Amino acid sequence: MSSVSLNAGCVVAMLGKDCVALATDHRFGIEALTMSTDYKKAYHIAPRMYLGMTGLPIDILMVRDRVLFRKNLYELRENREMSPKPFSSMLSSFLFEHRFGPYYVEPVVAALDPKTLKPFICNMDLIGCINESDDYVVAGTCTEQLYGMCETLWRPNLDPEELFEVIAKSIVNAFDRDAMSGWGATVFVIEKDKITERALKTRMD
């Protein structure tokens, strides 16, 4: 088992019409041993931006803190809110700087651009290779199941309520087929004027 998948978990981000959604599961474990069922994997980075990460918990917290520090310095220097693409590039550069002793994380960024309000999603590997998508991105131990469900259910121009239904069904059905993920999920739907957070109750075994 790789270090990235040691603690398991999954994250998925999905585009809609003028909105974007991010969903994570709640399980924190050490291989098959479940340690917690309310572990947080998504972080509010900016008014319309979320960062989800799976991997080693200490690396997740370290990457979050150091990237937030760099983001705050950027905003102080530029006197404006950081948009998703520069943030993703900064995160990618940070991970690539440590490629010889990498942080064992798989980040997923979901956001709306602060000026154009254009939806943006991307994921990257542990050394920062960016994969920007126009439909959905996934990370974690059940990526094959997530890709299958997303490919089946996703369609263009989903409104916020439809997007919630699609991403919720995708992540629940995916981690039901993965013993290393699950124990409920949280879905964030980001719109231009609000962020809706919903918790999903699922099978607890």
Closest of 191, 164, 173 to residue 23, by C-alpha: 164
Whether 128 is covered by a domain: the verdict is yes
Name 80's Cβ contacts closer than 8 Å, sequence gap at least 6: none
Strand, helix or coil for residue 74: helix
List pLDDT tens digits, range 161-200.
999 999 999 999 998 888 888 899 999 999 999 999 999 9
Question: What is the number of domains present in the chain?
Answer: 1
Whether 197 is covered by a domain: the verdict is no
As a whole number, the mean pLDDT across the chain is 92
Whether 133 is covered by a domain: the verdict is yes
List pLDDT tens digits, range 29-44.
888 888 888 889 999 9
Closest of 58, 62, 64 to residue 42, by C-alpha: 64
Whether 205 is covered by a domain: the verdict is no
Query: What pLDDT, on a 0 to 100 scale, did the predictor assign at position 205?
Result: 64
**Is 3 a residue whose pLDDT tops 70?**
no
Whether 201 is covered by a domain: the verdict is no
Q: What distance in Å separates the CA atoms of residue 30 and residue 59, rounded to the nearest whole number?
A: 15
Whether 2 is covered by a domain: the verdict is no
Domain that holds residue 96: 10-190
Whether 59 is covered by a domain: the verdict is yes
Encoded tokens for 103: 């942080």
The bridge status of strand 42-46 relative to strand 49-55 is: antiparallel
What CATH number should be reported for the domain holding residue 94? 3.60.20.10
Q: pTM surpassing 0.85?
A: yes
Closest of 19, 6, 64 to residue 40, by C-alpha: 64
Whether 70 is covered by a domain: the verdict is yes
The least confident of 2-11, 64-73, 119-128, 145-154 is 2-11
